[in-house]
A and B are shown apart, each in its own frame.
Chain A
Amino acid sequence: MLRYNLKLALQSFKRAPSLYFLVLLTLSVGVGLLSANLALVNAMAGDPIPEKSDQLFHVSLNTWPTDRPPAEPLHILRYRDAKKIFESDIPKHSAVFYASGVYARDSKSNSLQRFDSSVRATTSGFFALTNAPFAYGSGFVKNSGMEVVIGSELNNKIFAGKNSVGETLELDGELLTIVGVLKPWSLRPLFYHATEGRAFNLTDDIYAPIETAIDLGWSIHARSSSTDSNNGVKFTRDLNVFYLQAWVELPKEADVALFQNYLNNYSQSLKEVGEHPLDTRNELRDVNAWLLEQDIVDQKILAFTLASVLFLCVCVFNASSLLLSRFHSAKFEVGLRRAIGASNRHMLIQGLTESALLGIIAGFTSILLSWLFLKLSIQFLPDLANLAILEPKLLILGMLLALCTAISSALYPLYRANRYAISAELK
């Protein structure tokens, strides 16, 4: 019976192609626009590391040395505070890092072309903590040494995507050996650096040991605060210069309490020796709490998404109105089919099959329109470039939305069609 109902649906489309095209277009535009917005919201509000987002904690400390502190505990730390964190054996993994940038080239290359590359100067625990995916090699083991891990994009640019482990990069004039190459890696949002409007940046090009980066004087490419004057990152280890971010992995709840206690004790000990006058207030926030705190979901996008939902409702009403006129004009056939033995249930299933088929076609069209809407969004708002991506789950959601809206549009017309008197149109 399904095949027969599908055949009837296709015949119905052929009978009124303009009307069905309008219904299709109406639903596709509504679903496509909403899907495009949901893709943006999904990228903004999604969990970037669902397998352990509740086990990773951002560390904020209240160790500002003067009595005019920032309103909240700082998300950036001094070198010696950060060192206290990565020296602790309570976390399973910890990562302390800052963002920098260098020009990179293959040291063996005859070309002098250098690539402007973002750098994450980090402790070695970063890779295990973030589940960074390796294509070749592995992370560096020590926090110092002339070794680096590079991202897939840079590897493509410099080494054409080949296994470049063992190759040497010239980074701002220094030679560092590649020990690992990452697979293409996208984190949306970029939870480990969600501050300063970077939540939707790409992952970094180069990951270098933190001590090496400091020793080489690779400058800080992110927010820093200081109560001491300084002559560059090379000289920050003993100064009140706040620029490092810290994350820890605490799989057990007991460890969270233990580590919180460890931080509080550390902060209290500083207070007792007069290094800071503030109340002890240190915070651990897991990934999603941290992203929520950073308010990374653009309120304008949320408002536009709500408007898209309302627009989709209008589209459904319009489609329903068009289908009502279509079903009304098919009263004769409905009456005839009922007369020769089709039950209300048969007619309902036939109508739903037609709507479902329409929904599937609308699903494909709406995915295409979503893609176009996203491309158009990037033209107007280039900041959305890393967000405007239709993930497979969004494609499925788009299809389901189209299916649901097509069926909902047909419900009232079907209800009305099933209430026609059978004999009314038959003579």
Chain B
Amino acid sequence: MLKMNNVSRIYRNDTIQTHALRDFSLEVESGEFVAVTGPSGSGKSTFLNVAGLLDGFDQGEYKLDGISVHGLKDNELSKLRNEKIGFIFQSYNLIPDYSIFDNVDMPLRYRGFSSAERKRRVKQALEKVGLASRANYLPSQLSGGQQQRVAIARALAGEPKILLADEPTGNLDSLMARQVMELLHKLNQEGTTIIMVTHDPDQAREVSRNIQIVDGEISDFRIYAPLQSLEIDPVQPTEASLKSNKEQEPVDA
């Protein structure tokens, strides 16, 4: 699905050059759930930007779904991003004055789908994240967890080959973070490949594979047991958080 061989990314300015990625090699198979951890400034975000074709690289080779991305033109890279990659950001990155429907619809607009097809896909994506009844709401009318689920729906709407998540639970409280993680695990179990940058070691342990980046290189390579074989302690909601959750997230019919 994703194959990087000796990829380097160097940022230069007038006085210094920084090796954000150094001879970085990684292969992610279809259906994997990979957690990327590492200290701040280690190159996690650079890796995710290069993997997501948001940034270029200086050396090496990168193949996404069998396609070598080196030398591709802007419109070809955009098409690849649109068709094969779904992004989930820490800050959700929803457009505040667009409805939930319009936010999820955004990537489909650049795909040339008919109106009916777009509606079908948006509805399906929102159903997957349990927010079908909120299609006409504005992001500000939803809780943080719900907003992140909308962002996940937007990433899923184009039926991508791979989801790239950059600290998807970084802005959420533990209960909402748990719900988002459960959703990601569910999607992975349904076959979606996911690469997730996280600072949370617990979340990293839950996934099928964990890599750690330090100084632009993979420093340690450990494979954890798959999620279903783990016994995860469910988060015990407090009375207050349950109440808040009830108010904010009525169950969809």
A residues contacting B by CB (< 8 A) are 1, 4, 11, 14-15, 332-333, 336-346, 421-423, 426-427
Closest 10 CB pairs of A and B: A341-B82, A343-B78, A340-B107, A423-B54, A343-B75, A341-B110, A422-B54, A423-B49, A344-B74, A342-B110
Tell me the nearest residue of chain A to B158, going by C-beta. Answer: A341
A338 CA / B154 CA spacing, docked (Å): 14
User: Which B residues are in CB contact (< 8 Å) with A426?
Assistant: 54, 87, 89, 91, 93
List 8 A–B pairs whose Cβ atoms lie within 8 Å, in order of A's numbering: A14-B97, A333-B95, A336-B95, A338-B78, A340-B110, A340-B154, A343-B75, A344-B75
User: Does B52 sit within 8 A of A, measured CB to CB?
Assistant: yes
User: Does B120 sit within 8 A of A, measured CB to CB?
Assistant: no
User: Does B90 sit within 8 A of A, measured CB to CB?
Assistant: yes
Contact A339 B87 (CB under 8 A): yes
Tell me the nearest residue of chain B to A421, going by C-beta. Answer: B55
Question: How many residues of B sit at the interface, in one of the four size bands?
Answer: 20 to 34
Tell me the residues in window 60-114 of chain B with beta carbons closer than 8 Å to chain A beta carbons.
74-75, 78-79, 81-83, 87, 89-91, 93, 95, 97-98, 106-107, 109-111
Q: Which of A333, A337, A341, A427 is B89 in contact with, Cβ under 8 Å?
A: A427
A199 CA / B83 CA spacing, docked (Å): 68
Contact A337 B52 (CB under 8 A): no
Instruction: For the complex formed, measure the closest distance between the CB of A283 and the CB atoms of chain B, giving whole angstroms.
Output: 65
B residues contacting A by CB (< 8 A) are 45, 49, 52, 54-55, 74-75, 78-79, 81-83, 87, 89-91, 93, 95, 97-98, 106-107, 109-111, 154, 158, 166
A11 CA / B75 CA spacing, docked (Å): 25
A422 CA / B93 CA spacing, docked (Å): 13
Instruction: For the complex formed, measure the closest distance between the CB of B111 and the CB atoms of chain A, giving whole angstroms.
Output: 7
Contact A11 B97 (CB under 8 A): yes
User: Which A residues are in CB contact (< 8 Å) with B83?
Assistant: 341
Q: Which of A1, A15, A341 is B78 in contact with, Cβ under 8 Å?
A: A341
Q: Residue among B82, B107, B110, B154 with the most chain A CB within 10 A?
A: B110
Q: A426-B89, A427-B90 are in contact. Are A341 and B111 (CB under 8 A)?
A: yes
User: Which B residues are in CB contact (< 8 Å) with A427?
Assistant: 89-91, 93, 166
Q: A340-B82, A341-B82 are in contact. Are A15 and B97 (CB under 8 A)?
A: yes
